[in-house]
């Protein structure tokens, strides 16, 4: 997996994580994310709304839910971890210059499914 944005910081994150044996790194390699992407793309309203803030990709939010459930995190804890934990940000395909979903965004996405 690659973070979508190019920057020196993002390359350093990828280099640090490249040889990691972290659970999320292993999970990245065993799941066929294309199957999930095909299903989740049906819920992607980013290009149809003309009002409001840009929203996050369904795949990013789905990955957030995986972490949240696996590590039993609250929405506020998940928001904090996305700011502080490089592996979580990497797994969720968020770069240094990405906006981070706040706890209310995570809650709204979770409740919509």
**What digits encode the pLDDT tens for the residues 83-99?**
999 899 989 988 878 88
Q: Tens digit of pLDDT for each residue in 19-32?
A: 778 888 888 888 88
**Lookup: tokens for 73:** 């995190």
Please state the domain extents for the chain. Answer: 9-14+56-113
């Amino acid at each position: 997996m690659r973070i979508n944005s190019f920057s020196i910081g993002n390359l350093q994150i990828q280099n640090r994580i490249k040889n990691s044996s972290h659970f999320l790194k292993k999970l990245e390699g065993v799941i066929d994310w294309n199957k999930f992407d095909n299903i989740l793309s049906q819920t992607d309203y980013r290009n149809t709304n003309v009002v409001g803030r840009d929203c996050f990709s369904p795949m990013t939010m789905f990955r957030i839910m995986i972490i949240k459930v696996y590590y039993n995190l609250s929405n506020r804890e998940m928001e904090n971890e996305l700011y502080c934990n490089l592996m979580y940000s990497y797994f969720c395909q968020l770069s240094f210059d990405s906006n981070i979903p706040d706890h209310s965004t995570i809650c709204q996405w979770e409740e919509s499914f």
